[in-house]
């Protein structure tokens, strides 16, 4: 049976495509979902792709992932920089997590430089636009097959 991973997207990412294209590009979230599914298939991973603008719902989705998914890819949007609750949720379910951002958060405003997610993630991929999700799937597949 193929391993399953959850790709989880936080606030405002539903607006990708029209939202500040100079920062986030013109790829829509539906495009990213399609590409993640194709990449997952190539890697032998089942991909569940979800979005929520609500912090509590993201916490619930992370809790529900335990026992259903082998790993998590998370773009928590602005909650990256604020949410101890999301950090604690990842610690609680103990799922290997890859943090993704479309933009290079370290080249942007200082308030985006700090990530609570980074403290509990395997690693962080940022600055490569939508391609970062595919890199994250590769990294997670590699980790699941040969954990370091
Ligand atoms: C997306 C957001 O919505 C921002 O709040 C983060 C991240 C960066 C991204 O680049 O994907 O600061």
* pLDDT at residue 134 in the model: 98
- Residue-wise DSSP of 75-143: E-GGGGGT-HHHHHHHHHHT--EEEEESS-GGGS-GGGT--SGGGTSSEEEESSTTHHHHHHHHHHHHH
> Which of 51, 79, 101, 133 is an active site residue?
101
| Domain 3-145 is found in CATH 1.10.3720.10 | no
Domain-wise residue ranges, the chain: 3-145
**Best of 10, 53, 80 to mutate for ligand 1, by most ligand atoms within 8 A of CB?**
80
Spatial distance between the Cα atoms of 74 and 123, rounded to a whole number of angstroms? 11
Strand, coil or helix: what is 52? coil
Does ligand 1 have an atom closer than 6 angstroms to the CB of 25?
A: no
Residue 59 in tokens: 């916490």
Whether 129 lines ligand 1, by a CB cut-off of 6 Å, is no
Ligand 1, atom nearest to 108 Cα: 12
User: What confidence tens digit (pLDDT) does each residue in 47-102 have?
Assistant: 999 999 999 999 999 999 999 999 999 999 999 999 999 999 999 999 999 999 99
How much is the pTM? 0.97
């Amino acid at each position: 049976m193929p391993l399953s991973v959850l790709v989880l997207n936080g606030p405002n990412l539903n607006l990708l495509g029209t939202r500040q294209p100079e920062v986030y590009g013109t790829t829509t979230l539906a495009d990213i979902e399609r590409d993640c599914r194709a990449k997952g298939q190539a890697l032998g991973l089942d991909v569940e792709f979800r979005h929520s603008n609500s912090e509590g719902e993201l916490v619930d989705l992370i809790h529900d992932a335990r026992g259903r998914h082998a790993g998590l890819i998370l773009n928590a949007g602005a909650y990256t920089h604020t949410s101890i609750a999301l950090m604690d949720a990842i610690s609680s379910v103990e799922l290997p997590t890859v943090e993704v951002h479309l933009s290079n958060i370290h080249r942007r405003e200082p308030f985006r430089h700090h990530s609570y997610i980074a403290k509990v993630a395997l690693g962080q991929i940022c600055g490569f636009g939508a391609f970062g999700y595919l890199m994250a799937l590769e990294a997670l597949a590699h980790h699941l097959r040969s954990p370091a």
